[in-house]
Structure 1
């Protein structure tokens, strides 16, 4: 792909980072961007109203980063969903052709942007790979069972000689997406707050273009998470907030499915039941507790309010705004 690489202009890309009270992790990410080669045209930092020294940390990198830094501190914590929606909005308004989204708990490999750029002439919705905290190859569930609205845990992990696999999902920890697709899909939906937002956005993108995951390691996780090692797969620990939104946000997915005429009550209900069961397994086998189940039920209850809201509409395409 050597000739293709020349067609990608790194300056046309913007890295958009969402952070919240994790200045130490953000420092590691920004240090990794300092040594990137090539660098993006812009780095956008969306600060979800942090109360630590995040502002000072960001400003300390302004002269070191080697590219234009845009810092937005929000008035309130809008969750990862609101942060990525704002980050994409800022990147889009900067005129970026490519938007590379990531949390603050990763670092970019020095040639990460060059690796993603190899694929930019061929695809417009691309997911790279990342190393886990311990250096192992992280497996991300890149395909969903569409009608159930849940990831397929046994989708093949290996790549063939093509170096890519079709996906119908998305992950904001490394999503690399073209502005043409953002124009058609619109911004990520901040109403999720956390969880399912990137899966839905990636799914929406896959309805507009051929989305792929590529066999390129471009990120490394810098935060250790408690896990249950199941061999080929891992199951991470969660939190009460995540448990609540995992179940509540099933109602938002249902609203998107209804709007796009892909909703199957039986299959989607099965997906919700499997999600509930998975969270129980996560509680019992990863976190070794039975406390937290009330958050699952509370999420289901509040989701019913969303399901009954007749004024609810999907996020609009930017070309209609």
Structure 2
């Protein structure tokens, strides 16, 4: 059995039923975890009470500082431990019994593998969203124009990526010591891509491991049309801002550093215009909102809105 010391970090917000399933999956790993940190981002659904009644978990309650703030705190605490690896995940993914063991077997065959990500499945089918490369030279093309495909994951033991999700990456502690903690000011979105790209820039490889399986919850929305509309709108605003930030921080030329979010912004402007005719998802003021968010990203004005 692999003797590496591994600490898990789970960030949760108002998903008690899913969190309970995640914790069960972690406890049931064939490679025993040495510690499990649960970062509760201000849940109001009974999560705090349930966690306070558990044993064997390292629980931290804090205000809702977004996924980025949650992983910042969790990785910060985990990196203080005497460990070799830190295993991070949201509360809606469930590692299969040998997931960690398989990730470690892949990781420890290659010294420069800094982050190893699992093969995610949704409803039994490969789920992908990782970027193999990032366009940081052409502001008129999508930054994520070279995405990982399901066929690539299924056909190769490992596939190199530069943009990951915080859904099961196994991070070598050495990476944290070299590149630091996630950017907590992003709040949500791009914190994971930013972190994996920083690891790549520091000389580490980031890969997806085909045989390390993790199930991802398939959400079926039960919220009203208006709730969906508002939820999507605020997430889109963060997406535009953080895309602009990422381009400004890592762009290879002045155009990308100032206009990396422009393709997505123009797409959203088209959606707003279309919805004036076909629906009521957006309002005229959203033109200004999304433009303002892009400018904030370029100026690197981050934090929770």
Q: Which TM-score band applies after superposition, normalised by the shorter structure?
A: 0.7 to 0.9
Deviation at 1:150, TM superposition (A): 2.5
Q: What's 2:292 paired with?
A: 301
Q: What's 1:145 paired with?
A: 134
Q: Pick the aligned partner of 2:60 from 56, 72, 75.
A: 72
Q: What's 1:319 paired with?
A: none
Q: What's 1:127 paired with?
A: 117
Question: What whole-Å deviation, never above 9, does each CA across 1:203-246 have from its counterpart, x for those lacking one?
Answer: 111112122122124211124156xxxxxxxxxx9712211100
Deviation at 1:299, TM superposition (A): 4.1
Q: Which runs of 5+ in 2 are unaligned?
A: 222-229
Aligned-residue Cα RMSD (Å) equals 3.0
Q: What's 2:243 paired with?
A: 250
Give the aligned length: 281
Greater shift in the superposed pair: 190-199 or 152-161: 152-161
Deviation at 1:274, TM superposition (A): 2.5
Question: What whole-Å deviation, never above 9, does each CA across 1:176-212 have from its counterpart, x for those lacking one?
Answer: 1111111111100011000111111111111121221
Q: Which runs of 5+ in 1 are unaligned?
A: 1-5, 63-67, 227-236, 314-321
8 Å contact kept, 1:124–1:210: yes
User: CA separation of 1:94/1:55 partners in 2, compared to 1, >3 Å: closer, same or farther?
Assistant: same
Question: What's the secondary structure of 1:204's corresponding residue?
Answer: helix
8 Å contact kept, 1:81–1:191: yes
Q: What's 2:254 paired with?
A: 265
Give me the TM-score of the superposition, normalised by structure 2: 0.81
CA distance in 2, matches of 1:203, 1:153: 14
Deviation at 1:280, TM superposition (A): 6.6
CA distance in 1, matches of 2:270, 2:157: 34
Question: What's the secondary structure of 2:126's corresponding residue?
Answer: coil
Greater shift in the superposed pair: 29-38 or 275-284: 275-284
